[in-house]
Amino acid sequence: MHQPAPSADLRHRTIEAPAGRLHLVEQGAGPLVLLVHGFPESWYSWRRQLPALAAAGYRAVALDVRGYGRSSKPVGTDAYRMLDLVVDNVALVRALGEETAVVVGHDWGANIAATSALLHPEVFRAVGLLSVPYAPPGGPRPTDVFARMGGDQEFYVSYFQEPGRAEAEMEPDVRGWLAGFYAAMSADTMPADGAPDPHFVARAGGRLRDRFPDGRLPAWLTEDDLDVYAGEFERTGMTGALNRYRAMDRDWEDLAPYAGAPIEQPSLFVGGALDASTTWLAEAIDAFPTTLPGLTAAHVLDGCGHWIQQERPDEVNHLLTSWLASLPG
């Protein structure tokens, strides 16, 4: 098992941004690489990448996305629209005294990274996407799509979109809920084929955690790691994180002018073969020649689940550093 990343060289700081403050952790010196986490995580999900990128000659910076950790948590779902998260990323690059950056994201962070690159190619010179492939804006309204999924079951995104509903399940036992959610989407602990799918809930009073696997933590997650995640969400609550799901229809409206738009910059995709994001979004991956014309490489890691940079840190670090080294200066 990997030992915890050394913390002595990690530099914590906050910067001023439109939402208030953004907390970030940085390590190393050189070209800037901005790391954007997903749900339900924090800067800590990049703990294995920060030292590896620093050792390879980069200034690696992992932030707490607004609504998470030590970053500000504005009130109201509109404050979590994608356009505002992109503004945060641009503000962070500027506050660090840089003109450009490579942006790398995982899960929701992949969507944030992709949209940052789409809207601001002058700032984000390349984009790396982990677990969630790029799909251009457009198509039907998101809530309509999710409402049609699952038949007599309810898709988890719809479940998350109703204010207060998911919080009532999560917040009485944040640590236990996070442990189950992480295990449900990790290669070594996810439910067996044929078991109820943890991406759905029963429509009448169902809970996601009713479908989480019981027992051991995934191999990548120590008790101490879980304490870090749980401590942050016990302090902040879950609403800031969940508001990203609740802003999706607003994003659909905001980004309508970019319907079908490709990302032209050099790009990288790394997914897990056992991750629903890879299988459900296979058509998005197939469309990469059109949607990501600057794609340098796409990798799908056998036997890997959703938490890719934590489940397979050595492979992901090698892929990231090799890709970064291949980019134009």
Catalytic positions? 107, 306
Exposed/middle/buried for residue 75 (C-beta within 10 Å: 0-12, 13-18, 19+): exposed
Looking at the chain, the number of H-run helices and the number of E-run strands are 15, 10
Q: Report the alpha-carbon distance of residue 32 to residue 23 in Å, rounded.
A: 16
Query: Is the sign of the CA dihedral 232, 237, 243, 245 positive or negative?
Result: positive
Amino acid at 255: L
The residue behind tokens 């390879």 is: 56
Nearest to 308 by CA among 260, 256, 269: 269
Nearest to 83 by CA among 56, 116, 49: 116
Is residue 75 within 8 A of residue 19, CB to CB? The reply is no
Amino acid at 77: T
Question: How would you list the strands of the sheet with 124-130, edge to edge?
Answer: 11-17, 20-27, 59-63, 32-36, 101-106, 124-130, 267-272, 295-301
Is residue 245 within 8 A of residue 156, CB to CB? The reply is no
User: Coil, helix or strand for 93?
Assistant: helix
- Give start and end residues of each alpha helix (H) in 201-299: 223-236, 239-246, 248-254, 276-280, 282-286, 288-291
User: Coil, helix or strand for 13?
Assistant: strand
Nearest to 301 by CA among 326, 284, 327, 320: 320
Nearest to 158 by CA among 245, 41, 67, 278: 245
DSSP 71: S
DSSP 310: H
